[in-house]
Homo-oligomer: A and B are copies of this chain.
Amino acid sequence: MELADYLERRRAAIEVALAEALPAPPACPPVIADAMRYSLLGGGKRLRPLLVLAACEAVVSADEAEALRLAMPAACALELIHTYSLIHDDLPAMDDDDLRRRRPTSHVVHGEGMAILAGDGLQAAAFALLARLPVSDGDPLLQTRKLRVLATVAEAAGAAGMVGGQALDLEADPSPRHDRARAGRGEPAPVDAERLADMHARKTGALIRASVTAGAIMGGAPPAALAALDRFAREIGLAFQIVDDVLDVEGASADLGKTPGKDAAAGKPTYVSLHGLVRSKALADECLVRADAALADPGLSGSQLPALARWVVERRT
Contacts and interface: CB of A to CB of B under 8 A. Distances in A.
A164 B29 contact: yes
A192 to B, nearest CB: 15
Contact of A124 (B109, B111, B159): B159
7 contacts: A94-B116, A110-B180, A116-B116, A117-B167, A121-B164, A127-B127, A131-B154
Given A144-B137, A147-B146, A113 B127 contact: no
A253 interface: no
Interface string A177-192: 1111101000000000
A107 B119 CA distance: 18
Given A34-B183, A88-B117, A146-B147, 4 more contacts: A93-B113, A94-B116, A111-B170, A125-B159
A157 B122 CA distance: 10
Interface in A143-198: 143-144, 146-147, 150-151, 154-155, 157-160, 163-164, 166-168, 170-171, 177-181, 183
Contact of A154 (B110, B127, B157): B127
A280 to B, nearest CB: 24
A84 B123 CA distance: 12
A160 B27 contact: yes
Contact of A171 (B29, B116, B168): B29
A219 to B, nearest CB: 18
Contacts of A128: 151, 154-155, 158
Contact of A163 (B111, B117, B127, B137): B117
A269 interface: no
Interface string A22-64: 1100011101111110000000000000000000000000000
Contact of A120 (B155, B163, B178): B163
A28 B124 contact: no
A302 interface: no
A123 B121 contact: no
B114 A181 contact: yes
A223 interface: no
Which 4 pairs of residues, A with B, have the shortest CB-CB distance? A111-B180, A124-B158, A93-B112, A128-B154
Given A88-B120, A124-B123, A158-B124, A151 B163 contact: no
